[in-house]
Amino acid sequence: MPEIVTIECPSCEESFCNGDYNEDNPSDMCSCGNIAIEIIKYENSKYPFYVGISYEKEKPIIDAIMIEDDDD
């Protein structure tokens, strides 16, 4: 069963999904401004970009949640 990575702000409890960010949607910030998400590009990398997470005060809670499989 696949899992997705979630990033939650411990201050405002807003959460983000790693997979929501790409070149068309490159950055975001939680409502209290603690967590900022941006995509980072490296030259000569196998991958087009990475999702970078930075925070001001409180460390984000990073977790992986299971996606229910609808085929059952």
Contacts with Zn ion, residue ranges (CB under 5 A) = 9, 11-12, 30, 32, 34
Sheet of strand 50-55: strand arrangement = 27-29, 35-40, 50-55
| Residue with tokens 């899992």, as numbered in its chain | 3
Nearer to Zn ion, 8 or 26 (CB): 8
Nearer to Zn ion, 3 or 5 (CB): 5
Calculate ∠ Cα 50-55-60, nearest 5°: 85
CB of 58 to Zn ion, least distance (A): 8
How many other C-beta atoms can be found within 10 angstroms of the C-beta atom of residue 5? 13
CB of 66 to Zn ion, least distance (A): 24
Nearer to Zn ion, 38 or 49 (CB): 38
CB of 71 to Zn ion, least distance (A): 36
